[in-house]
Chains A and B, each alone.
Chain A
């Protein structure tokens, strides 16, 4: 989960562990840390779900998506990316639609149903 809001990460982590106690949850405080973590940890056969916030310092969600677009993760079948933003701005939602890698745009906060949906991708 790439989000500078620690509390948001903590809540998602706790809710995810409730559904699946065995998953590995990594919280990254910005897009840069997110990229580093992804490149370090993602192996071809590991299933990876990215929950991406938009507004972040250092490298924001759009910057993260731009880097990802040019990487070989772009068409990795074992990778699912979701945007999770507090923004309800239409322009953000439209912009997100221009990145094929984005599976869905969620508004904060995630409900337990959303989390189940995400984990069953």
Chain B
């Protein structure tokens, strides 16, 4: 499939028209203000929402149909949930936006571990600069966009496999069945004419399905993040 070979085009968040909306999960006011400043400094238009408790973000996600969150910056020590459990909980919300963990040196091993779970990046709070934060966000966007694209493509491929198995094989099995039957029958020209007609119908049906699958397979190409 030629379309699979297309190169993926990186899209910077700044290329997208709407302002970046960031949810910061952070209970420490000083840390929050610092990150907020960095964001305002490096992104021209940015909306920032602060959540001190995990439950507040969860309530927001569960009540809004459009969460209007493009990115989550996550401190690993919140008053109501922390560490590994916090990461698991937030990932289980399935919000499909990049998540960047902000952590101190104490939680470094956990932060590294979180990458395996599906978090996009982690930053050490004491080392964060506006430039590092900006780069991490851009990178997280490219990566999550790519992952979303691959997942959508996998879904289509699964559908094609299902179609192959269920839809294509139906007329094919009928054709084979008719042939099996003709082989076991004694030759009777009148019957044969009937079965040949049925063979033609099933063959045409299969032809149409194969054409449809080819069209669908060709549709698998890169969907640009163009919301």
- Let me know if A112 is at the binding interface, CB within 8 A: yes
What number of B residues sit within 8 Å (CB to CB) of A? Answer: 17
Closest-by-CB residue of A relative to B176 is A109
**B-contact bits for A110-121, CB 8 A (1 contact / 0 none):** 111000000000
Main secondary structure of the interface of B (DSSP, over half): helix
Question: How far does the alpha carbon of A8 sit from the alpha carbon of B198 in the complex, in Å?
Answer: 11
Q: Choose among A7, A86, A88, A111 the residue that contacts B178 (Cβ–Cβ < 8 A).
A: A7
- Which B101-129 residues have C-beta < 8 A from chain A? none
A-B contact count (CB 8 A): 55
- Let me know if B92 is at the binding interface, CB within 8 A: no
Question: How far does the alpha carbon of A18 sit from the alpha carbon of B182 in the complex, in Å?
Answer: 13
- Let me know if B181 is at the binding interface, CB within 8 A: yes
> Given A89-B162, A109-B174, does the pair A11, B169 have CB atoms closer than 8 Å?
no
Closest-by-CB residue of B relative to A112 is B184
Question: How far does the alpha carbon of A59 sit from the alpha carbon of B173 in the complex, in Å?
Answer: 22
Q: Name which of A18, A86, A89, A107 has the most chain B CB atoms within 10 A of its CB.
A: A86
- Let me know if A103 is at the binding interface, CB within 8 A: no
- Which A33-77 residues have C-beta < 8 A from chain B? 55
Neighbouring B residues of A110 by C-beta, 8 Å: 177, 180
**A-contact bits for B183-214, CB 8 A (1 contact / 0 none):** 01000000000000010001000000000000
Question: How far does the alpha carbon of A111 sit from the alpha carbon of B161 in the complex, in Å?
Answer: 25
Binding site for B on A (CB under 8 A): 5, 7-8, 11, 14-15, 18, 55, 86-89, 92, 107-112
Binding site for A on B (CB under 8 A): 161-162, 165-166, 169-170, 172-174, 176-178, 180-181, 184, 198, 202
